[in-house]
Structures are given as C-alpha cells and as structure tokens.
Structure 1
Amino acid sequence: MTAFLDNTLSGLALGAVYALVALGFVVIFKASGVLNFAQGSLLLFGGYLVAVLHDDLGFAGALAVAVLTTGLLAGAVDRLLLQRGGPDPAAAPVQTIVTIGVDIVLVTELSRRIGGDLLSLGDPWGDAVTEVGPVTVADSRIAAISVSAVVIAAVFALFRFTPWGLSLRAAAEDTEAAALMGVRLSRVRMLAWCLAGALAALAAVFLAAFPAPGLERTTGQIALKAFPAAILGGMASPAGALAGSLVIGLTEAFVAGYQSDLHVLGEGVGDVAPYAVMIAVLLVRPTGLFGAKGAVRV
C-alpha cells in the first residue's frame, strides 16, 4: 500500500509538471496550428538561465528572469522566424519544420555550454522530505503539485476571462472570421508563444529538482513526454492537456515503481510507456480524450 501511495504522489507531481509543458504545446497549436518541437529546448534554456543566475540573483530572482527571458525568446522565434510573411494558417506545416531547426540550434549551443556537468538550480527545497502518513514525499514534489496547480488555474482563468483568451478561442474556432472581427492574429499567436515559453521555463525547475540529480543537457528531452500528453488530451484542448498529463505521469510512475514485476517487457519499458498509452487511447478515440469530431457538410 505504501508503494502504491508513493507511486501515486510521484505520478501526480510528474503529471503536474508535464501539464505545464503540454499547455505550451496546446496554446501554440490553438493560436497558430503549429506543433512546436522546440518546446524542449526552450525548457532547457530556461533551466540553464536559473542555474547560472541563482548565485547572483537568488532562486526567486533567477526564476523570474528565466521565465521572462524564455517567454520573450519564444515570442521572438514566432515573430521573427515564423511570422515574417504574416500569420498564415496554411503555412503551419512548414513552420512546424522550422521549429525542429530552432530546437537543433538551441540544443546544440546549450549542450556545448553545459557539457557533461550537472547544474544545480538552487531551489529552496533541496533534498528535504516530508512524511505524509505512511509515505515519505520529497518537498520538491509537493512544491511541483502546488505551484503547478496555481499556475494552471491562472492559465485557465486567462483563457476564460481576458480579451486575449477570448481572441485566442475565436481564432482557434475560425481564423478568417476572427480576423474579420478585428482580432489581431499576429499578436494573439505571439503572446501564445510567450506564454508557452514561460511555462516551459517554470517546468524546468521541477524536472531538475530532487530526486533528479540536477539540470543536464538531456533534460529538455524529458519535456517531449508531454507531447503524447497533449495528443492524448486532444491537442487543442487545455483541459485535455491537463488530463492527458496526469495519465502520462501516473503511467510513468507506476511503470517505474513496478519495474521489477514488468521485467519481461524489457528494461526500457518506462521510456515507451507514455507513447504506448497514447497509441492505445488513439486507437479507441482518434481525436483524443477531449478532442471534438470535425463536422463535415456534404
């Protein structure tokens, strides 16, 4: 029972962090139709900034600078590289390919700077743990669940109650109609990219925190596990991204926790488990858990 509770808390913490990254995928897709494969490198960039700045600025100051800078970098990628000819939904497939190039450039440079080092982000939780009933939980996991819950709630409120959120939903529903109604599509999608970058930088803190050894050059690859979470939820659904992230996080935690009982499936089953779950769900619901079927007029 203790192992079950421990795996459940670990899965919820991991799912909460994945939700931050998955929301980035979703908000960009809703605003522009682009699958941002540079999300992992943006996460690594944000984490790297926290690692190199926390000695001078403190953890909170370094995190604030990293979130702001990563958001601005993501917005600049969209504005300067993807929107040079204006917001064109038909160009989304080409722009998706461009994000792969951006990812390669960022990862190459950051890998050169990090090398084989493990960088500490100076987070205040360290390796402290708290006993919750029969389970011993790392404070970093409690912080991940708490902070992610607050941030995700704020993002959902942003979608629901702000003019930008209304414009984003209108653009996702019908781009041409939104433009005719005065929605500035270029501004809406650039702000979506800024938000996605900021969320990625925040997620980096928890992915590199204890019990992880620290930030390394492969940390950005972990963020790609949030991609099947976004697909699982329906890609254009923020609520689906949250649900999909929790499913993926719990799956990964339980597979890792019961690895000894699953040895017949191979040692790497934990790495492919999120994608196996995604494929299994898509076989039943091709549009994802919260995806809507498109109506076709004949």
Structure 2
Amino acid sequence: MKILQLVLLGVSLGSIYSLIALGFVVIYKGTKVINLAHGSVLLAGAYAVAVLSPHTGFLPAVALGAVASALCAVVIQRLVAAMRTQNHLVLTILTIGVDILLATELSRRIGSRVLTMGDPWGGRRVEILGTVLPQARIAATVVGILFIALFFLVFRRTDFGVRMRASADDPRTAALMGIDQRKVALTSWAIGGALACVAGVFLAGFPNPGLDHTSGLIALNAIPAIIIGGLDSTEGAVLGGLIVGVTQTLVDGNASSLHFLGEGFGTVAPYVVMLLILLWRPSGLMGSKELNRV
C-alpha cells in the first residue's frame, strides 16, 4: 500500500509540474524563448491569491491571481520583444535579469512570512484504495487534468490553436498567411503565466506549509520535465511532469532505504532520469528530432 500511496502522491505532484512545464513549452513554441522568469511569475500569481483570498474568497482570488500572473508574463514578453533581436539565447538570458528583479521585490513583500492560500481543503485527508491522501493533492490532480484537457482541446480544435501551431512550426510562412505573430506571442506568454499561477496555488497547499519567498524556486523542478518530454512538445511536457513527480515522490518516500545516496537525493533524482533519457534520446521522449542537411 505504501508504494500505491507514493505513486498516487507522485501523480498529483506530477500534474502540478505538468502545468508548469506546459507553461514553459507554450512560451517556447510561441516565441522560441525559454522563460527563466517563470518561477517568479508563479510566485507573483500565488502571492496575489494569498493576499486576495481573505477578501474575495478562494475561487475569485485564483481567477484574479491567474489574470495577474498572465499580465506579468505579458509585460515580460514586451520587455523581451523590445530588445529587437532574433538571438533567442540573448532573450532567454534577459529573462534571468527580469527574474532576479521580480523575485527580489516579491521576497521583500513576503519577507519571513508563510502565506496560506485560503483554499477549502486545508489539511483534510481522504482514503482512496486503502491509502490516505491529502484532499489538496486530489484536487490538484483533478484540476491539473481539467486544465490540461482544456488546453489540448483549444490547441487542437480551435482556429486559435491552429494559428498557434502554425506559428510554432513555421513562423515566417504563418506571417505570410496573415497570422499576427505579436498576438500569438502575447497569448502564449499569457497562457503560460496563468498556468503557473494555478500550479503555484497547489504547490503552496497542504502538505506544504504555505507560500514563502523561496516558493518560486520550485518551478525549477519543471526544467527536467520539459527536457525529458521534449522542449517543443506539449504532450511531452505533461509526460515529463508526471515522470518527475513520481520519481521525486518515490525516492523521497524510500529515503531510509536509499540513505547511501545522500540526503535530499529526491531533488536530484529527476535530473539523473533526465540525463539517462538524454543519453538515449537527445531530443527528449516526444521532442522533434533535429535534421541536419549535408
């Protein structure tokens, strides 16, 4: 039963990582920029929820927090676009500077406090298949599945999704066909920001104590997820998130048996899995293979 409990907890954690990884990939597909300020955007959205929930209630606070983080991501995108360069490495490095500024300001505002989200689940637990799981993690799994399903429905079945996919596959041809690249970029970053906020709310929930000034660093756990799945694959982002969540939970849950690997190996384990997969498939499990013409 312990293994089953750990796997279920890993799937719930993986669904949160999947939302973060999906945000990374959507932004990358839309603009070819890896937004390394994604953790600070997550922290900004979750902070807005924590501040607003005592006054508006939990669900309105989450909606407003998602809007706030989406706007924050859009502002970063406009800063990136203002550089007027096509060197995506330079633009990615720029997001590091933005991340430092945003994280510093949020750390100043939060200080040493640990903020709660005001969620309706609290520390309650429920028994499923003979195992006891936190209600917050069950909610995270359900919400993660719903948001991921909604994203793929829009991405695959709507005109907007077709425009996004066309821009991601061949931006020059898409522009010649009349697709507004600026709108695609803004929407990609806004979607990534909103997904980060939802993930941040559940990352700060039980069994974690709440939101503190370092919570944005948890978004870095999604880096192995997007590399494992493939940097340009939305399906791979979801798969990679689940792999990272289950791996980390299983290793942490069996820490006493794996003590010879060192304390805190659960944090490192996803990176070990990432390296092993890259040795087998350098483009990730579902990433596009790079073709070199001779």
Q: TM-score range by the shorter chain?
A: over 0.9
> In structure 2, what is the Cα distance between the partners aligned to 1:158 and 1:125?
29
2: CA distance, partners of 1:76 / 1:111: 19
> Who is 2:81 aligned against?
83
* Counterpart AA for 2:165: R
Letter in 2 for 1:112: R
The one-character-per-residue Cα deviations of 1:140-187 (angstroms, maximum 9, x if unpaired) are 011000001000000111111222211111112112111111111111
Q: Structure 1: which amino acid aligns with 2:49? A: V
Query: Which aligned runs of 4 or more in structure 1 are off by greater than 3 angstroms?
Result: none
Corresponding pairs, count: 294
Partners of 1:291 and 1:134 in 2: how far apart?
38
State the alpha-carbon separation in 2 of the partners of residues 274 and 133 from structure 1.
27
Paired residue secondary structure (1:130): strand
Alignment of 1:274-293 (within 5 A): 274-293=270-289
Question: Which residue of structure 2 lines up, in the alignment, with residue 172 of structure 1?
Answer: 168
Whole-angstrom CA distance in 1 between matches of 2:214 and 2:94? 21
Confirm or deny: 8 A CA contact 2:233 2:288 kept in the other structure.
Answer: no
Match of 2:226 in 1: 230
What do residues 11-42 of structure 1 show as CA deviations (whole Å, max 9, x unaligned)? Answer: 00000000000001100110111011011000
Aligned partners of 1:34 and 1:170: how far apart in 2? 17
2:49 alignment counterpart: 50
For the residue of structure 1 that corresponds to 2:132, the secondary structure is strand
Q: Residue 243 of structure 1 corresponds to which residue in structure 2?
A: 239
C-alpha separation between the residues in 2 aligned to 1:85 and 1:161? Answer: 34
1:260 and 2:256 matched: yes
**1-structure distance, mates of 2:88, 2:186:** 14
The alignment-based identity, stated in percent, is 48
Q: Tell me how far apart the structure 2 counterparts of residues 51 and 32 of structure 1 sit (CA, whole Å).
A: 31
- Residue 202 of structure 2 corresponds to residue 206 of structure 1: yes
Structure 2 distance, partners of 1:69, 1:207, is 18
Across the aligned residues of Structure 1 and Structure 2, the Cα RMSD in angstroms comes to 1.1
Specify the alignment match of 1:41 in structure 2.
40
CA distance in 1, matches of 2:166, 2:292: 20
Name structure 1 gaps, 5 residues minimum: none
d(CA) in 1 for partners of 2:274, 2:293: 30
Partner residue, 2:6: 7
Moved more, 53-62 or 167-176: 167-176
CA distance in 2, matches of 1:175, 1:195: 19
d(CA) in 1 for partners of 2:170, 2:129: 50
Structure 2 residues not aligned, in runs of 5+: none
The alpha carbon displacement at 1:91 in A equals: 2.6
Instruction: Give the aligned residue type for 1:7.
Output: L
SS in 2 for 1:55: helix
Output the amino acid matched with 1:265: L
1:143 pairs with one of 139, 146, 151: 139
User: Per-residue CA shift, 1:111-149, capped at 9, x if unaligned?
Assistant: 111111110110000011101132001000110000010
**1:152 and 2:148 aligned:** yes
Does the CA-based 8 Å contact 2:232-2:288 persist in structure 1? no
CA–CA separation in structure 2 for the residues paired with 1:38 and 1:13: 24
Provide the rounded CA distance (Å) in 2 between the counterparts of 1:217 and 1:277: 28
User: How far apart are residue 85 of structure 1 and its match?
Assistant: 5.6
Give TM-score, length-normalised by structure 1.
0.96
1:167-225: CA deviation from partner (whole Å, max 9, x where unpaired) = 11111211211111111111101100000000000001110110000011111111110
Q: Is the 8 A contact 2:18 2:237 kept in 1?
A: yes
Residue among 101, 105, 122 paired with 1:109: 105
Cα shift at 1:295 = 2.6
Distance 1:228 1:95 in 2: 21
Tell me the SS of whatever aligns to 1:259: coil
Contact 1:54–1:122, Cα closer than 8 Å, also in 2: yes
* Contact 1:83–1:186 (Cα < 8 Å) also in 2: no
SS in 1 for 2:257: helix
